[in-house]
Structure 1
Amino acid sequence: MHTQCPHCQTIFRVTSAHLNIAQGHVRCSHCQHAFNATRHLLKQLPTPDVPEQFKIDEEEPSLSTDYNLPELLQEDIYQPRRNSWNAFLFWGVITLILATTLAVQIFWFWQPDKILQHPQIRPWLDRFCHVFLCTLPVTRDVDSFYIQEHIASVHPTLTNVIQFEVTFVNKAIFPQPYPDFSLTFEDSNGKPIAQRLFKPSEYLPTPPKPDQEIPPKAAIHFKLELMNIANLIEGNQIAQGYHFEFL
């Protein structure tokens, strides 16, 4: 026969001798809960995996003078599984990490630049690569370049030459390759009348190396001279408007 503690659900093997003592009242050795073993007899054992059964002590429990209830020893044959909070927390964290990793991989596949340029994610990527000696892929955001200062004037000694002094800044939080840019002249109505594209090797005093980048917040200064543009000069002034655009 088997009885089950109603408090902790531990199952014990019992005999008629156990049930005859104290009118079937016993005390669970697992949780110390007192209960009537007769009322909680099991017709059959639960079906889940059952650990190896142990026999209860062969000696009959004795009823002491202070009416202590006979104690069912800890030779329990079955104890239902209980959810472990630590296990639940562990697997919850693992699941969260895996789900986050999968989401990052999917996002990286479709929009890697968004991750590399994200203001909260980028610093962590930089620290990771600093520790593990890796190199992040090159990313570009031309909107992060801005002209800090520009001066245009007619060359004081050369004929039909306009000179420019330009300073631009990489305001991104990540290094970027040197950008190309266009210089466009416009008439009084804002209509383009002349344009030229410049590569880094054309506007920098020394051409940059292939892997050379502009550090975050760094300022770059350069000078340009445009020749044979008499139609854009009127006296000592530039007759039309102009603007720069990074490409």
Structure 2
Amino acid sequence: MQNKSIITQCPSCETQFRVTQGQLKVANGQVRCGACLAIFCAVEYEQKPQSVEPATQQKAKTRRVHEDKTPDTFEKVDVDLPISKEETPASKPTEITTSSEADKPAEKTQEEIIKTVSAADVPTLTIDAEPVVLSLSNGTKASSPWWFIGCVLSILALLAQHLWFNRGDLYWTHTYRPLYDTVCQHIDCQIPTRVDTAKITNQQFLIRPHSEIADAITIDLVLINEASHNQPYPALHIAFSDLKGRPVASRTLQPESYLDRSIVNLKSMPTHQPIQISLDLMSPGMRGINYQLELLAPAL
């Protein structure tokens, strides 16, 4: 360890120590005395050794320096060969601590001051529970009748819309018919006619040659309205086809074509009463072997 360590003397207790150049470089030359804990610059108080011991003796007395790797704190090292004014063989090496911060004692003093504060001096934070008061705004009153009136008017408006847009179905029920009859006396309700051709059945379909007109045929029908209400007479669609199902002739007859308006009300076909109808048509010819009758909604 030639030229790698110096001997410095503590200015407070005059204790001498050996410090390596590596320790001085890490601590920027600042060291702490292991005896009185004073911090000083090792280079300024460097001492020249009076005698040089043999290398074998110096190597035997030298021990490795243990450096504390903790950053930003004073590093503790074991210094070999402590030299003092009264050196004895039984004396032990004195611990010194190198430091990279000169204000460490101030931090310890502050910590000690904080720890000495008694718990009685710390103010206690107290929270008092306050009652919650619910109040209405000045512009709204809980007992105001306008809210009730507005709700009633909204319900009545929705009900009126339902009765108006569904009047075609509701009029034919016994519950709503008196209401619609009263209202329609003052306004034009235009109740649509209720048509349900699925409830009209054909009980007879007979085709025979006309008794007086050549190349003409007579068709006899018996229709029954099985609905629970009166409805207009249906339109009759008659179609003829050949053996292969190809259309030969067809015709659609409205109620005014096969009924007499002076005798029968075209918009009121009675319920559960057979209605016999006789039609005179031109013959479809020899090809019109197949025939079909379809009941359609009338063109009112």
Specify the TM-score bucket, using the shorter chain as the normaliser: 0.3 to 0.5
Relative contact order (alpha carbons < 8 A, sep ≥ 6): 1 or 2 greater? 1
| Larger-Rg structure | 2
With normalisation by structure 1, the TM-score equals 0.47
With normalisation by structure 2, the TM-score equals 0.40
